Chains A and B, each alone.
Chain A
Amino acid sequence: METITKNNIFNSQKLRQDFPILSKKANGKPLVYLDSGATAQKPKQVIDAISNYYQSQNANIHRGVHQLSQEITIAYENARATIQKHLNAAVSHEIIFTSGTTESINLVANSFGKKYINASDEIIISEMEHHSNIVPWQVLCEEKGAVLKVIPINENGELRIDEYKKLLCSKTRIVAVTHVSNTLGTINPVKEIIALAHEKSIPVLIDGAQAVPHMKVDIQALDADFYCFSGHKVFGPTGVGILYGKEKWLNKIPPYKVGGGIIKTVTFEKTEYADLPLKFEAGTPHIGGGIGLAAAIDYVNEIGLENIGAYEHELLEYATLKLLAIEGLRIIGTAKEKASVISFVIEEVHPLDVGTILDKQGIAVRTGHHCTQPLMEHFGLPGTIRVSLVFYNTKEEIDVLVNGIQKAIKMLR
Chain B
Amino acid sequence: MRIAEIENELIEEFELFGDDWEGKYEHLIDLGKHLPLIDKQHKTDDRLIKGCQSRVWLHSELYDEKVVFTADSDAIITKGIVAILIRVFSGQTPEEIMQADLIFIDDIGLKEHLSPTRANGLVSMIKQIKMYAIALNLSQNS
Q: Which segment, of B73-81, B86-94, B132-140, faces chain A?
A: B73-81
Q: Is the CB of B76 within 8 A of A351?
A: no
Q: Is the CB of A27 within 8 A of B74?
A: no
- The answer to the question of A369 belonging to the interface, with a C-beta cut-off of 8 Å to chain B, is yes
Within the assembled complex, what's the spacing in Å between the Cα atoms of A369 and B54?
Answer: 11
Known: A368-B119, A382-B53. A350 touches B76 (CB 8 A): yes
Known: A367-B53, A382-B53, A412-B29. A353 touches B119 (CB 8 A): no
0/1 per residue, A362-388, Cβ < 8 Å to B? Answer: 000001110000000000001100000
- The answer to the question of A22 belonging to the interface, with a C-beta cut-off of 8 Å to chain B, is no
Within the assembled complex, what's the spacing in Å between the Cα atoms of A27 and B22?
Answer: 12
- The answer to the question of A357 belonging to the interface, with a C-beta cut-off of 8 Å to chain B, is yes
Q: How far is the CB of A342 from chain B (nearest CB, A)?
A: 18
Residues of A within 8 A of B54 (CB): 350, 352-353, 382
Q: How far is the CB of A322 from chain B (nearest CB, A)?
A: 23
Q: Is the CB of A352 within 8 A of B22?
A: no
Interface size on A, residues (CB 8 A): 17
Residues of B within 8 A of A411 (CB): 22, 25-26, 29
Within the assembled complex, what's the spacing in Å between the Cα atoms of A411 and B20?
Answer: 14
Q: Is the CB of A356 within 8 A of B77?
A: yes
A359 and chain B: residue at smallest CB distance: B112
- The answer to the question of A360 belonging to the interface, with a C-beta cut-off of 8 Å to chain B, is yes
Residues of A within 8 A of B22 (CB): 360, 411
- The answer to the question of B21 belonging to the interface, with a C-beta cut-off of 8 Å to chain A, is yes
Residues 31 to 67 of chain B near chain A (Cβ within 8 Å): 52-55
Q: Is the CB of B52 within 8 A of A353?
A: no
Q: Is the CB of B53 within 8 A of A351?
A: yes
Residues 387 to 413 of chain A near chain B (Cβ within 8 Å): 411-412
A selection of 22 A-B contacts at a CB cut-off of 8 Å is A28-B19, A349-B76, A352-B53, A352-B75, A352-B119, A352-B120, A353-B54, A356-B25, A356-B77, A357-B25, A360-B21, A360-B22, A368-B119, A382-B53, A382-B54, A382-B74, A383-B53, A411-B22, A411-B26, A412-B29, A412-B76, A412-B77
Chain A residues with CB under 8 Å of chain B are 27-28, 349-353, 356-357, 360, 367-369, 382-383, 411-412
In addition to A349-B76, A352-B120, 10 A-B residue pairs with Cβ atoms within 8 Å of each other are A350-B54, A352-B53, A352-B77, A353-B75, A353-B78, A360-B22, A367-B53, A411-B22, A412-B29, A412-B76
Chain A to chain B: the 6 pairs with minimum beta-carbon distance, closest first: A350-B75, A352-B53, A368-B53, A352-B54, A352-B75, A353-B77
